[in-house]
Amino acid sequence: MPSLLLSILKMKCPVCREGAVFQNPNPYLLRSLGDIHTLCPVCRQNFRPEPGFYFGGAIISYPLMVIFGMVVVGLFYFITGDIFDHFSTVMVILSVSVIAVSPIVFRYSRVLFLYINFKYRGDGEKKSEG
């Protein structure tokens, strides 16, 4: 059985944990940032069950970005000892870092949303049609 955490980190199908969710593995190729396979290349799970399905990913994306921002500000505070004397510097660093990780958070929010909605079926129960 493939590891849940490793399958999420590799952005694999939640049902078989083998097929890739995204068509292009590079999240920084912005033209194909959100291009998801319609069906899993391995188990044929439908990755587009209904129109607007991935709006639910925003529910996951928001807290991921908030946590990331808190970590960045926390690291800045740990290094400098104060965030209020360097507020504009903190905002610049935070803005640049948020923009830099946005494509990755976008993709992981969709993958996590898939994992919330579809369960692992294992080797013996792979879906045969979409």
Mean pLDDT by 10 residues, the chain (130 residues): 91 95 94 94 93 90 96 95 92 97 96 94 56
Compute the distance between CA of residue 27 and CA of residue 33 in angstroms, rounded to an integer: 5
What tokens were used for 76?
Answer: 């800045």
Q: Is 130 within the bounds of a domain?
A: no
Dihedral of alpha carbons 56, 60, 61, 63, sign? positive
Q: Is 86 within the bounds of a domain?
A: yes
**DSSP 8-class letter at 20:** B
Task: Please tell me the total count of domains within the chain.
Answer: 1
pTM across the whole model: 0.84
Residue 66 structural domain = 4-125
pLDDT recorded at residue 128 = 47
Q: In the chain, where does DSSP find H-type helix?
A: 4-9, 57-80, 87-117
**DSSP 8-class letter at 27:** T
pLDDT recorded at residue 129 = 47
